[in-house]
A and B are shown apart, each in its own frame.
Chain A
Amino acid sequence: MKQALGAVRRKFQPWNDPASRPFIEFRNVSKQFGSFTAVDHQTLTVFEREFHALLGPSGCGKTTLLRMLAGFEEPSEGEIWLDGKNLAGVPPHRRPVNMMFQSYALFPHMSVEKNIAFGLKQDGMPRGEIAARVDEMLKLVKLEPFAKRRPDKLSGGQRQRVALARALAKRPKVLLLDEPLGALDKKLREATQFELVGLQESLGLTFLIVTHDQEEAMTVADRISVMKEGKIAQIATPAEIYEAPSSRYVADFIGSVNVFEGTVESSSPGRLQLETDQGFTVRTATAPVLGAGTKAWFAVRPEKMRIDHDRPEGDGVNMVSGEVWDIGYLGDVTVYNVRLDSGKLVRASVMNAQRAVARPISWEERVWLSWSDDAGVILLD
């Protein structure tokens, strides 16, 4: 049986099922602003009921993708399809998607309930139905006592809920979230992330979220598109992105990672040996077959490394020694920065499973770092 990478949140994997129908499709989409290319010939498929995150640093084109789906920007090239319909030329107010804006964009001259009712009124929904739907939404985001308040009399967290309720009120085919939690403090943000997930599952809607916060993307999304300079670097589940990044960029963007450059020594299915520039040898079980002499990188996460005073047993591969340069005690984990003889700093983190340690590692001590055959990945880019 194939081992699963990391934790799996729910049994929902339409992307692995060739029979499932795409819901949102960006087909070879480009967007140019003057001479600046915000999105460069990208294709992306999102499935119905999927929670998909567009993740990347600012200026990587993630917000532009979202705004093109909402209709605020028209693609310079390519097509966007939603539920089997080409959206080209459809103005924003006729698209069955709703957006939760980064600034929330709550109408300052309207009460909470008027804000939530705004979209329903545009559709000409009967008054009674609007009132019922608004009540339902207020209950959903737990804002019933604040129905008559103006947005400027609400806290940041409450405003965020109004924005969410307003965008959900029309039961859109897709809910677009543009950095929805950016303005909240850390504690509230984390709590809200789980609420968003619960909401998405219970309503059965498709969510497309834009964020630069990798933790947020990992928490909420079924799949993540990691973006870089107008291109999608990798589309995969959070666990795959973390455990099997496709490039150094993705590996580095999500979490922290140690990367060693080297040359392939030998390679066969299920086994690859790499001679690093640091003078130690890496052996890994998870790699494609590559020709000897190919330049490649070995990436390994700090928590996959062991740190010991003594040289570990074994055949001398997957280990390297160095001097403890820096120790960061973070409570749950301790992070060691180890300086190799070449001067390169390598990071290893150790879970503090016990309160006391018999033989603690301290500054300037000589230590050995080691890892197993399946701890890291070989990257070609």
Chain B
Amino acid sequence: MAEKERTSLSRRVVTWIPYAWLVVFFLIPCLIVLKISLSQTALAIPPYEPVFSTFADIRDKVGEFSLDSFALLTQDSLYWLSYLSSLEIAAISTILLLIIGYPIAYGLARANPSIRPYLLMLIILPFWTSFLIRVYAWIGILKPEGLLNQLLISLHLISQPLAITNTNWAVYIGIVYSYLPFMVLPLYATLEKLDVTLLEAASDLGATPLKAFWQVTFPISLPGVAAGALLVFIPAVGEFVIPDLLGGSDTLMIGKTLWHEFFDNRDWPVASAVAIVLLVALVVPIVLFQNAQSRAQGAK
């Protein structure tokens, strides 16, 4: 009996330590963001007063909650334009990533099994190098006097340098480049598992290679497409570094807006309100992603 109790005790400890950590460092911070987004702007003038409150406190203060910050979000077009623009940029980037990532993943999955692990490592390797470095590398290439323009001019393809940096195109390139492994890996995982005899069967039943791809390969790879799309779309919506370094002043993205609201305007309630709205906007894709993850895990 004593043994049994010790087992369940150790199990409980193993459960509750990470659980408590996540509650303290993830759940509570999110609730604080919610709370501060509901407080008056005046409260948040730096230096910020510590306002940690118990649940009782929160109940007492409900009357003081203010929706001013949220009201501001609806009034000032900057915010909802940022949201829309973020969603648009993330959606376009996701589609570009699919178009570029799918053939790469397909090629990897059909490569000789003996070299596949090495190819896969080459796909993952850039992911291990700093995100910031990878974005930075593109500045030197894309800027007006950069290498891409030099190359295009020397090939007489263009006479005037293209303005790519400080446009949304630079942001697309940056996102596609940085997020490519996240798109390729889930696609590869489903394509690699695809039974080749299914394609033989399709071909045997009269499907041309192209038809076999659209009627068999692609539908079967849809879970991978969904996983990859969610895995890049969600972080892309909140992306800050790429639009900040590669985009222009008119590139509106919500992550950038939040950053400036926080660091430049020092308006914490509004920054928090922006975060809450962003989080709410992402709840559906995040839940979809989590479901897809647990289903994939359960299937194994």
Contacts and interface: CB of A to CB of B under 8 A. Distances in A.
Interface of A: 70-72, 91-95, 97-99, 101, 103, 105, 107-109, 118-119, 122-123, 166-167, 170
Interface string B189-202: 00000010110111
Contacts of B204: 70-72, 92-93, 95, 97-99, 167
Given A93-B208, A118-B215, A107 B203 contact: no
Contacts of A91: 203
B15 to A, nearest CB: 34
Question: Which interface residue of A97, A118, A167 has the most chain B CB atoms within 10 A?
Answer: A118
B-side interface mostly: helix
Interface in B192-225: 195, 197-198, 200-209, 211-212, 215-216, 219-220, 222
Nearest to A96: B206
A9 B81 CA distance: 81
Given A98-B205, A105-B195, A92 B200 contact: yes
A122 B201 CA distance: 12
B110 to A, nearest CB: 15
A108 B219 CA distance: 10
A93 B220 contact: no
Contacts of B202: 93, 107, 118
B201 A99 contact: yes
A170 B204 CA distance: 11
A170 B197 contact: no
A118 B207 contact: yes
B205 A170 contact: yes
Question: Which interface residue of B200, B202, B203, B204 has the most chain A CB atoms within 10 A?
Answer: B204
Contact of B200 (A95, A101, A167): A101
B214 to A, nearest CB: 12
Given A109-B220, A122-B211, 20 more contacts: A70-B200, A72-B203, A91-B203, A92-B204, A93-B204, A93-B205, A93-B206, A94-B206, A99-B201, A101-B197, A101-B200, A101-B201, A103-B197, A105-B200, A107-B202, A118-B205, A122-B205, A122-B208, A166-B201, A170-B205
A122 B211 CA distance: 8
Contacts of A166: 201, 205
Interface in B204-256: 204-209, 211-212, 215-216, 219-220, 222
B76 to A, nearest CB: 47
B200 A72 contact: yes
Contacts of A118: 202, 205, 207, 215
B206 A119 contact: yes
A13 B195 CA distance: 40
A95 B212 CA distance: 15
A105 B203 CA distance: 12
Contacts of A92: 200, 203-204
Question: Which interface residue of B198, B206, B211 has the most chain A CB atoms within 10 A?
Answer: B206
Nearest to B205: A119
Nearest to B203: A92
Contacts of B220: 107-109
A119 B200 CA distance: 12
Contacts of B215: 118
A170 B203 CA distance: 13
A266 B220 CA distance: 69
Nearest to B215: A118
Question: Which interface residue of B197, B203, B205, B211 has the most chain A CB atoms within 10 A?
Answer: B205
Q: Lowest 8 A-B CB distances belong to which pairs?
A: A119-B205, A122-B206, A105-B201, A92-B203, A105-B197, A109-B219, A99-B204, A93-B203
A93 B204 CA distance: 5
Nearest to B221: A109
A72 B204 CA distance: 9
B206 A107 contact: no
Contacts of A108: 220
19 contacts: A70-B204, A71-B204, A72-B203, A72-B204, A91-B203, A92-B200, A92-B203, A93-B203, A93-B209, A93-B212, A94-B206, A99-B204, A105-B200, A105-B201, A107-B220, A109-B219, A119-B206, A122-B205, A167-B204
Contact of A93 (B197, B207, B222): B207
B198 A105 contact: yes
Contacts of A119: 205-206
Contacts of A109: 219-220, 222
A255 to B, nearest CB: 32
A92 B202 CA distance: 9
Contacts of B203: 71-72, 91-93
A60 B205 CA distance: 26
B113 to A, nearest CB: 15
B47 to A, nearest CB: 59
Contacts of A170: 205-206
Question: Which interface residue of A72, A103, A105, A166 has the most chain B CB atoms within 10 A?
Answer: A105
A112 to B, nearest CB: 15
A106 to B, nearest CB: 8
Contacts of B216: 107
A203 to B, nearest CB: 17
A142 B236 CA distance: 52
Contacts of B207: 93, 118, 122
